[in-house]
Structure 1
Amino acid sequence: MSTHAPARPSYAAVLRLPHARRTFVAALTARLSYGTVSISVLLSVTRATGSYAVSGAVMSLFGAASVFLMPVRGALIDRHGPRRALGPMALVYGVLLALLAVLTWRPGAPVALLATAAALAGACTPPLGPTMRSLWSELAPDRHLLQRAYSLDGVAEELLFVSGPVLVGILTGFAPPASGIVLSAVLIVGGTGVFVASPVMPGPRPVTRGGRLGTVSGLLAPVVVALGVGLTLSGVDLLTMAYASAHAYDTALVPWVLGAMSAGSALGGLANGAVRWLVPARTRLLRFAVVLGLAVAAAGLAPDLWVLTAALVVAGVFLAPTLTTAYLAADESVRSESRTQAGAWVNMGVNAGTSTGALATGLLIGRLPLGICFLVAGTAALASALAAGAAGARLARRG
């Protein structure tokens, strides 16, 4: 692919890369499904069964199959190419979502059938984020422009997760909750169809000597840090709600506090992409995670909700840069034919941490003072950075 690096990389330069704008918009359209599907499934199953326990179990099956099988799906895309693997994967996923919508359209759905459909759908979730990031590595001619592309991608993805539930809320104002599942299926099938039709989409890649994934040890730091950040991030949501309740604030303010953190993350992500860093990605990753963890830990000392909001905005400023840098470090640690799978491992780390952290934080709240709970949440990111740094030092000594 013949492209020329601009003299001064910018976000506009990223979108001016050949076919980048069309491909990115298609990918974002499909990825909007990630922001709409979880809340839609939760609302639909709850309405169909009348049980929060059943909806929680169904969501757990859906989430676990989606998260823990992501590296497998990423490996399939690396091996067969996005056109051969991603398109059929999205189609099967869309059909299974449509089945789940039919089952939950009216009350009285068999629980076993709901659980089976949700687990199968989760197992087929297309790894569009890792695939798009792998494609940015093909499109961007140098590391500085790639950093911009990854930052733009990360900020856009975060906005999708914020806007998706709002879209479902509007839709369910005049239609059954299952209509949100239908919308999710349409978005991912249609968006993926346009995405894989892009002329810059790579084909299957030959396996080089030494295996497909390459240096597995190089993935350790980004995956471990992603896991720690996921643990920290999921704890913040519940802890902010608990803080507002404990200090007699209106809980309606909580979405605004979390929204301020997301805004900080978006600004931090854009700023990170604009800096021409001289420090290696792996070093930046550990430093970002440390500051993120310290900010969350310090939030537990806040005397009121406004100081808490300020602390979480600071944490947010380092959130998107940490995750973006994790993907960059993973990309640098593997061969070109393994980029999708490498990104899928990082993605799995974030999502696994988010799922586990929500459960752990829920168990801690009420048993420990809130300040200690914030400290525990922040320590997850700190500990992941320290563990990744120590593991990297050991590997360097052996090398």
Structure 2
Amino acid sequence: MPAHIEAGSYRDVLRLPSALRIFAPALAGRLAYGLLPLATLFTVHQTTGSFAAAGLALALFGLTSITLPLKSRLADRRPARLAWMALACAVSLAVAAFVPWPVPFVALAGLAAPPLGPAMRSAWRRLTEGTALKERAYALDAIAEETLYLVGPVLAGALIAIAPARWALLLTAVLLLAGTVGTVRRAQPAVGLPKARVFDPGPLRSARLWGVLAVLAAAGAGISVAYTAMAVTAQQAGHPGAAGLLEAGVAAGSVAGGLLWARRKHRRSRSHHFAGLLAIFAAGLLTAAAAPGLLALGVVMALAGVAVSPLYVVAYLAADDLTPPEHRTEAGTWINVAANAGNALGAASAGVLTDRHGPSPAFLAAGILLTATALLCGVGVRLEPARLFRSWRARGHDD
């Protein structure tokens, strides 16, 4: 597929046969992941009286994302397995809502959590096959996901404000199970897949995919540092609740960026796109280091957020370009794993930086990291002309 954006509108995407019948329940299931962090944090804290235990529970849930590629590989061959994963995850969350020590059950929920995002992107590839709508479908998916991560915390916070947090966790379990079952009813197994071995590296054989994963890990680290630094800035300003609004601003910017990105025609290489988008976010981080107040910081980070959704769209498309059809769903999950690993590293680094030096050096460090990554991507553009790239693809993606 060429690197430029393909024709069609969001309405054309949703008019594809069965698209709405798969997409709508998948959104309900993915909304559960927007509720889960706050619902888990406050459920564990209210049960144990410890934020340390709550943080441990969330960390364990996050670490289980390393199982996403394997779960996606299994679900690609038999989509019904997603429903069984969702059932195990929902039961684990329901048990965690009522037991005196919920941490291990949250970890079990993470191990069983169904990969709904990768499964939906697999469905988009199937639904858009033979059309010119795949990139527009990916953009719609990324925008919807960002919106859910904006709505989910608000909904969880509202529930926690009027009732014990366990009810928000139970709603999370119900949404996840119902949404997954609804998605599976219309899902179809991928065809022509070779027999897979459990420890088969699959798409990780592609050296070029490792480059994309490195870019996403750096991006995840920068975004994570930004969120931590925003929270510390709000705390130091005496308005800790403003941290949520600052994060919502980034999410709103990301939604706007996804909408704008999908409307433009893109004819440059994926590397060039990575370089430009990383440069936008890096500029926001470097400016945020000198922001004079919370309002200015919110405006700067909302503007920087326009790069987030397009960055993931480009990453998923690059993963498709660099892997054969039977590995594309799994390759997309490695994008998520890389971003999550970057998030974890960024959060740990930001904690040390902000404790010792305050939020401004953290913004600067993240900005420098993303600037360096953008420059490396830019060098890659010059070192790999389009002619050579097309020649490489014509040889069957041999690395």
TM-score, normalised relative to structure 2: 0.87
Aligned twin of 2:61:
62
Aligned twin of 2:184:
196
Cα distance in 2 between the residues matched to 1:270 and 1:10: 11
Whether the 8 Å contact between 1:213 and 1:341 is mirrored in structure 2 is yes
- Provide closer, same or farther for how the CA distance between residues 369 and 192 of structure 1 changes in structure 2, counting only shifts above 3 A: closer
**Corresponding residue SS for 2:283:** helix
**Corresponding residue SS for 1:303:** coil
Cα distance in 2 between the residues matched to 1:250 and 1:91: 40
Cα distance in 1 between the residues matched to 2:114 and 2:70: 11
Cα distance in 1 between the residues matched to 2:312 and 2:370: 12
Aligned twin of 2:46:
47
Aligned twin of 2:210:
220
Aligned twin of 2:147:
159
Deviating beyond 6 angstroms after TM superposition, the runs of 4 or more aligned structure 1 residues are 208-211, 389-392, 394-399
Q: How does 1:237-252 map to 2 (within 5 A)?
A: 237-246=227-236, 248=237, 250-252=239-241
- Write out per-residue CA displacement over residues 276-299 of structure 1, whole angstroms, 9 at most, x where no aligned residue: 211123431232122222221222
Aligned twin of 1:362:
351
Whether the 8 Å contact between 2:271 and 2:377 is mirrored in structure 1 is no
Whether the 8 Å contact between 2:252 and 2:305 is mirrored in structure 1 is yes
Cα distance in 1 between the residues matched to 2:262 and 2:56: 39
Whether the 8 Å contact between 1:212 and 1:335 is mirrored in structure 2 is no
- Provide closer, same or farther for how the CA distance between residues 277 and 290 of structure 1 changes in structure 2, counting only shifts above 3 A: same
Structure 2 stretches of 5 or more lacking a match? 1-5, 393-397
Whether the 8 Å contact between 1:218 and 1:334 is mirrored in structure 2 is no
Identity over aligned pairs, percent: 34
Whether the 8 Å contact between 2:272 and 2:377 is mirrored in structure 1 is no
Aligned twin of 1:231:
221
1:382 aligns with 2:371: yes
Instruction: After TM superposition, give the deviation of residue 45 of structure 1 in Å.
Output: 1.0
Aligned counterpart in structure 2 of residue 96 of structure 1, from 75, 81, 92: 92
**Corresponding residue SS for 1:326:** helix
1:38 aligns with 2:34: no
Instruction: After TM superposition, give the deviation of residue 319 of structure 1 in Å.
Output: 1.2
Whether the 8 Å contact between 2:234 and 2:241 is mirrored in structure 1 is no
Aligned twin of 1:4:
none
Cα distance in 2 between the residues matched to 1:386 and 1:268: 22
Cα distance in 2 between the residues matched to 1:77 and 1:121: 17
One-letter identity of the residue aligned with 2:112: C
**Corresponding residue SS for 2:259:** helix
CA RMSD of aligned residues (A): 2.7
1:345 aligns with 2:334: yes
- Write out per-residue CA displacement over residues 33-74 of structure 1, whole angstroms, 9 at most, x where no aligned residue: 101122111111111111122222222212212x22212212
Cα distance in 1 between the residues matched to 2:47 and 2:241: 27
- Give the aligned length: 380
- Identify the range of structure 1 (352-361 vs 165-174) with the bigger mean alpha-carbon deviation: 165-174
Aligned twin of 2:79:
82
- Identify the range of structure 1 (14-23 vs 387-396) with the bigger mean alpha-carbon deviation: 387-396
Cα distance in 2 between the residues matched to 1:314 and 1:121: 35
- Write out per-residue CA displacement over residues 215-242 of structure 1, whole angstroms, 9 at most, x where no aligned residue: 5223223312221111111111221233
Aligned counterpart in structure 2 of residue 139 of structure 1, from 113, 116, 127: 127
Whether the 8 Å contact between 2:250 and 2:305 is mirrored in structure 1 is yes
Whether the 8 Å contact between 1:150 and 1:324 is mirrored in structure 2 is yes
Cα distance in 2 between the residues matched to 1:387 and 1:120: 39
Aligned twin of 1:320:
309
Whether the 8 Å contact between 1:268 and 1:319 is mirrored in structure 2 is yes
Aligned twin of 1:106:
none
Structure 1 stretches of 5 or more lacking a match? 1-6, 104-108
Cα distance in 2 between the residues matched to 1:47 and 1:370: 29
Cα distance in 1 between the residues matched to 2:48 and 2:239: 31
Aligned counterpart in structure 2 of residue 72 of structure 1, from 66, 70, 73: 70
Aligned twin of 1:263:
252
- Provide closer, same or farther for how the CA distance between residues 136 and 282 of structure 1 changes in structure 2, counting only shifts above 3 A: farther
One-letter identity of the residue aligned with 1:155: I
Whether the 8 Å contact between 1:77 and 1:340 is mirrored in structure 2 is no
Whether the 8 Å contact between 1:221 and 1:282 is mirrored in structure 2 is no
Whether the 8 Å contact between 1:225 and 1:286 is mirrored in structure 2 is no
- Provide closer, same or farther for how the CA distance between residues 47 and 378 of structure 1 changes in structure 2, counting only shifts above 3 A: same
Aligned twin of 2:270:
281
